[in-house]
Amino acid sequence: MRTVHVDLGERSYPIYIGSGLLPQAGAYLIKHGLSAKSPHLIVTDDKVAPHHLDVLKSSLEEAGFRLVVSVVKSGEGSKSLQVFEEVMTSAIQGGLDRNSSVIALGGGVVGDLAGFVAATYMRGIAFIQMPTTILAHDSSVGGKVAVNHPLAKNMIGAFHQPEFVLYDLNTLMTLPPREVSAGLAEMVKHGLIRDAAFAYWCKDHAADLLALDLDALGYGLERGVAIKADVVSQDEREGGLRAILNLGHTIGHAIEAVAGYGEFLHGEAISIGMAGSALLAEALGRGGELHKETTAMLKALNLPVVLPDHLSEDDLMAAMMHDKKFKENTMVFIVPDAIGAVSIVKDIPQQLVRDILKQLRKGGETHV
Amino acid sequence: MRTVHVDLGERSYPIYIGSGLLPQAGAYLIKHGLSAKSPHLIVTDDKVAPHHLDVLKSSLEEAGFRLVVSVVKSGEGSKSLQVFEEVMTSAIQGGLDRNSSVIALGGGVVGDLAGFVAATYMRGIAFIQMPTTILAHDSSVGGKVAVNHPLAKNMIGAFHQPEFVLYDLNTLMTLPPREVSAGLAEMVKHGLIRDAAFAYWCKDHAADLLALDLDALGYGLERGVAIKADVVSQDEREGGLRAILNLGHTIGHAIEAVAGYGEFLHGEAISIGMAGSALLAEALGRGGELHKETTAMLKALNLPVVLPDHLSEDDLMAAMMHDKKFKENTMVFIVPDAIGAVSIVKDIPQQLVRDILKQLRKGGETHV
Ligand SMILES: NC(=O)c1ccc[n+]([C@@H]2O[C@H](COP(=O)([O-])OP(=O)(O)OC[C@H]3O[C@@H](n4cnc5c(N)ncnc54)[C@H](O)[C@@H]3O)[C@@H](O)[C@H]2O)c1
Ligand SMILES: NC(=O)c1ccc[n+]([C@@H]2O[C@H](COP(=O)([O-])OP(=O)(O)OC[C@H]3O[C@@H](n4cnc5c(N)ncnc54)[C@H](O)[C@@H]3O)[C@@H](O)[C@H]2O)c1
Ligand SMILES: [Zn+2]
Ligand SMILES: [Zn+2]
């Protein structure tokens, strides 16, 4: 088993990564001092539940915990205020009190939703993440929790750190291949922003990662989580540095919004976004091989790197102007300096972004 | 002008109390570093707006601030997730960003609702309280913000401290007399828990307070706010001490819930609750004059001290058992030791509480 410590003062917590951890969940709750006198709420979704809920329930019940379970529909649609209220109803009817916890068993959707419930139920109770997707190696670190507003993603949320994260690699075996690749997009992103060797490792071990080899997954998730934890512990509330985690996300979020949520997985959208960031870097004169190197890594992980024709530049630009990352109408981008290093660049001209979108549509072929 | 500092480390903030402060609101926002480049959201209700919104808007606009205004319906019904979502919609459509603030102009309802919007919009932006009720001298200190769930009050919330509180006594002149008395219930509560001299001062100056005399109001609110601030700064997250602020609230909340929200004002319900706590104290052998002394203070402020007949003991007991202040099914009460001092007493037998309710229905006459 691998353990990564997220260093956040009194809000520090460990991330346990290994195979076969879910059947030991009860022992982990006890180890972390959770009270068996209070009920605990498991939030999961209807695609995760059939595979993994019983294992978790048995382990917790054997350890003496009383459980309330809320199974939401799989998909981004569950990150809504309506589903949030339904989960709150389960929590109240189940008698959760201040010593209770909310346990997220699932991917980023369940983690963000359950985390926002934990952050706000009685003004905040304990939260435990049990991620079941590769993408959730990203979403389970940093304490960002949220639901969506019909007008904008992740608009309603909080910072709420978990007590601990229990990452059982075995749960990943049931993940559909497209979800595997999408999750690996965030993994390689962590290499691209802070660790060139890790980015190249992801490319070199792409086949193992895609085949869900336990050793490769364990190492990749440990490094991915450690890089994110390092950034977050230097900037818990997103004052500055933390923004580098948004590499590829400005364009990526616009793609998700314009295509309509569902057509692209988040990881796929940011993969195209990272290809775009590499083009932007080159346009700003930061080395000629960035786009080629970046897209080679992404393609090795079966990820898309070309902007599809049906997403218009006007729509994408409009979506970006709405993006909350634009402070006071200036455009901010995370721009690679090299593989493994990025800068936060303010005041990128809108026209340049438009040009990049054009190039990105042609897979970067037109750039000089 | 009087200033009370709430001492919470890096979350410390001042409360400005005085008459004629609202027309200077713009200067206060500038003084506290709020950016005129970002829009700011005023949340108020339809009973406060006709009297005080224009004054606030003019002051802020003259100081160069762009405003978004959300006027909700007056009353506890606006502390709902539905109204919360509507205010969020205004915030998003108005283009609020991370440098924006949410300004609550109103009583505790508007403060709690707007504060929860501020706590969760983009995971938290600046919050400013401009209280317009006497009760809000309580709700504007301590950072507790929340909306109600259909099954339970204040169930969904956060801790989110304001940047500052601007308390213009002139706004109180339009307050209906019943709201004046209800607000004074929390003021005398602050005396009852920590400061006997202040509790007696409230009784002695009851006529001035009820007549909204500016000197009496200014002093009373300053002391009330200072006592609350002192308790809160010793226990920001309600780990222990802060519970003393709930004197009278266990019975009070049950009365509100059983009567149906609206019949009793919060201050009226806790007034009866404080009379009940005094009876409980006597039953536990803590001095024979507590009930007489306490009710004399409350009656001087035109507050009720007798449990009405139509609220059954069974219903009240059931409501109390649901109250979130019961950890793991034990009953906790805040019990006076004397005027000006209270203890947190755990494991109060349910039967004793039932007896107290019976006495309280008769105005305490039957106690020995
Ligand atoms: N909080 C953060 O810091 C952060 C960071 C990145 C992303 N996110 C959020 O995460 C979400 C995306 O996360 P995600 O990709 O994990 O989405 P997800 O939770 O929707 O999971 C993806 C799909 O896989 C299914 N699934 C999950 N685990 C499975 C398993 N073990 N076996 C079979 N199927 C399984 C789910 O039901 C879903 O259909 C987005 O809402 C995004 O905003 C949050
Ligand atoms: N956050 C906390 O720590 C805390 C503490 C105590 C109470 N509260 C909450 O506060 C709320 C009660 O506060 P409240 O009594 O101020 O209620 P309120 O905001 O509903 O105001 C009472 C009534 O007076 C009206 N009003 C307000 N200011 C006015 C003015 N200047 N002129 C004319 N009318 C005016 C309002 O429209 C309303 O009808 C409850 O929801 C309670 O849960 C919160
Ligand atoms: Zn992401
Ligand atoms: Zn109160």
Residue B367 falls within a domain, yes or no? Answer: no
**Among all chains, which residue has been given the structure tokens 């004197």?**
B247
Q: How do residues A277-286 score in pLDDT, each as one tens digit?
A: 999 999 999 9
Considering only residues B260 and B144, tell me which one the structure prediction assigns the higher pLDDT: B144
Distance A266 CA to ligand 3 centre (A): 7
Nearest CA to ligand 1 atom 7: A139
Residue B83 and residue B140 share a domain: yes
Q: Are B334 and B343 in contact (CB under 8 A)?
A: yes
Ligand nearest to the CA of B141: 2
Taking CB atoms and a 6 Å cutoff, what residues make up the pocket around ligand 1? A 45, 47-48, 51, 74-76, 79, 106-110, 112, 132-133, 135-136, 138-139, 142, 144, 154, 171-172, 174-175, 179, 182, 266
Residues A161 and A193 in one domain: no
Which residues does B contribute to its contact with A (CB < 8 Å)? 35, 37-38, 81, 84-85, 88-89, 92-93, 97-99, 119-124, 144, 146, 149-152, 155-159, 237-238, 324, 326-328
Domain count, chain B: 2
B128 alpha-carbon distance from chain centroid: 16
> A174, A203, A228 — which closes off a domain?
A174
A84 interaction partners in chain B (CB closer than 8 Å): 81
Ligand closest in space to the Cα of B114: 2
Please tell me whether residues B10 and B69 are part of one structural domain. Answer: yes
Regarding whether A167 and A64 lie in a shared domain, the answer is: yes
Element (H, E) at B347: none
Atom number of ligand 2 nearest to Cα B145:
1
Percent of chain A with pLDDT over 70: 96
Domain holding A305, by residue range, is 177-361
Tokens representing B118 are 């501020």
Q: For residues B57 and B194, state if they share a domain.
A: no
Residue B10, pLDDT above cutoff 90: no
Residue of B120, B147, B322 to mutate when probing chain A, most A C-beta within 10 A: B120
* Segment holding B2, helix H or strand E: strand B2-6
Residues of B in contact with A326 (CB under 8 A): 97
Looking at the structure, tell me whether residues A11 and A143 fall in a common domain: yes
Which pLDDT belongs to residue B367?
52
Band (pLDDT 50/70/90 cuts) for residue B323 is low
Asked, for residue B220, whether it belongs to a domain, the answer is yes
Distance B158 CA to ligand 1 centre (A): 25
Specify the pLDDT at position B237.
75
What is the tens place of the pLDDT at every residue in A218-263? Answer: 999 999 999 999 999 988 777 788 899 999 999 999 999 899 867 8
ipTM of the complex: 0.91
Where does the pLDDT of residue A287 fall: very low under 50, low under 70, confident under 90, or very high at 90 and above? confident
Whether B21 maps to a domain, the answer reads yes
Q: What is the 3-state secondary structure (H, E, C) of chain A?
A: CEEEEECCHHHCEEEEEECCCHHHHHHHHHHCCCCCCCCEEEEEECCCHHHHHHHHHHHHHHCCCCEEEEEECCCHHHCCHHHHHHHHHHHHHCCCCCCCEEEEEECHHHHHHHHHHHHHECCCCEEEEEECCCCHHHHCCCCEEEEEECCEEEEEEEECCCCEEEEEHHHHHHCCHHHHHHHHHHHHHHHHHHCHHHHHHHHHCHHHHHCCCHHHHHHHHHHHHHHHHHHHHHCCCCCCHHHHHHCCHHHHHHHHHHHCCCCCCHHHHHHHHHHHHHHHHHHCCCCCCHHHHHHHHHHHCCCCCCCCCCCCHHHHHHHHHHCCCCHHHCCCEEEEEECCEEEEECCCCHHHHHHHHHHHHCCCCCCC
Average pLDDT over chain A reads: 94
CATH code, domain carrying A47 = 3.40.50.1970
Q: What angle do CA B258, B260, B262 make, to 5 degrees?
A: 135
Nearest in space to B279 (alpha carbons), one of B333, B212, B230: B333
Concerning whether A66 is annotated as a catalytic residue, the answer is: no
Q: Give the residue numbers of B annotated as catalytic, written as ranges.
A: 123, 144, 186, 228, 238, 242, 246, 249, 253, 266
The pLDDT, as a whole number, for residue B59 is: 98
In a domain, B366, yes or no: no
Chain A, chain B: beta-carbon pairs less than 8 Å apart: 89
Q: Determine, yes or no, domain membership for A130.
A: yes
Q: How far is CA A271 from CA A181, B145, B292, in A?
A: 10, 39, 73
Whose structure tokens read 């809160």?
B232
Lowest-confidence range among A212-226, A239-253, B61-75, B171-185? Answer: A239-253
Q: Does any domain span residue B368?
A: no
* Beta-carbon count within 10 A of B255 CB: 29
Name the minimum distance, in Å, from the CA of B234 to any CA of chain A.
18
CB contact under 8 A, A92 and B120: no
Residues A12 and A88 in one domain: yes
Beta-carbon separation of A328 and B97 below 8 A = yes
Indicate if A94 and A194 belong to the same structural domain. Answer: no
Q: Is residue B351 part of a domain?
A: yes
- Domain limit, last residue, from A118, A151, A174: A174
Q: pLDDT value at position A227?
A: 97
Residue A368 in domain? no
Report whether B22 contacts B166 (CB < 8 A): yes
**pLDDT (tens digit, 9 = 90+) per residue, A147-193?**
999 988 899 999 999 999 999 999 999 999 999 999 999 999 999 99
| B194 plus B140 within the same structural domain | no
Q: Residue B364 — pLDDT band, cuts 50, 70, 90? A: confident
Residues A135 and A190 in one domain: no
The answer for A130, left when phi > 0, alpha when psi is -120 to 50, beta otherwise, is beta
Of B88, B156, B158, nearest to A155 by CB-CB distance is: B88
| Contact: A152, B89; criterion CB under 8 Å | no
Of all atoms in ligand 1, which is nearest to the CA of residue A267? 15
Same domain, yes or no, for B248 and B264? Answer: yes
- B94 SS3 class: coil
Amino acid at residue number A254: A
**Amino acid at position A99, single letter:** N
Which of residues B51 and A319 earns the better pLDDT score?
B51
The whole-number pLDDT of residue B368 equals 45
Instruction: Report CA(B183)–ligand 2 centroid distance (Å).
Output: 8
User: Can you give the CATH number for the domain in which B271 is found?
Assistant: 1.20.1090.10
- Ligand 1 atom with the smallest distance to the CA of A46 is 37
A205 in catalytic set: no
Q: What is the pLDDT of residue A323?
A: 61
Q: What is the mean pLDDT of residues B231-254?
A: 89
Residue of B15, B44, B47, B174 best suited for mutating to test ligand 2, as the one with most atoms within 8 Å of CB: B47
DSSP run (H or E) holding B238: none
pLDDT at B66 exceeding the cut of 90 = yes
User: pLDDT band for position A364 (50/70/90)?
Assistant: confident
pLDDT bucket at B52, cuts 50 / 70 / 90: very high
Q: In this complex, which of A35, A92, A326 lies closest to B152 when CB atoms are compared? A: A92
- The C-alpha of A3 sits at a distance from chain B's nearest C-alpha, in angstroms, of 28
Query: Of A174, A202, A223, which one is at a domain's C-terminal end?
Result: A174
Long-range pairs of B228-232 with CB within 8 A, sequence gap ≥ 24: B228/B137, B228/B138, B228/B141, B228/B142, B228/B190, B229/B4, B229/B5, B229/B6, B229/B7, B229/B15, B229/B141, B229/B142, B230/B194, B231/B193, B231/B194, B232/B6, B232/B8, B232/B141, B232/B142, B232/B143
Which residues of B are less than 8 Å from A94 in CB distance? none
Q: Whose CA is nearest to atom 13 of ligand 2?
A: B108
In this structure, the answer to whether residues B128 and B155 fall within a common structural domain is: yes
pTM attached to this predicted model: 0.94
DSSP state of B73: P
| Residue A268 assigned to a binding site | no
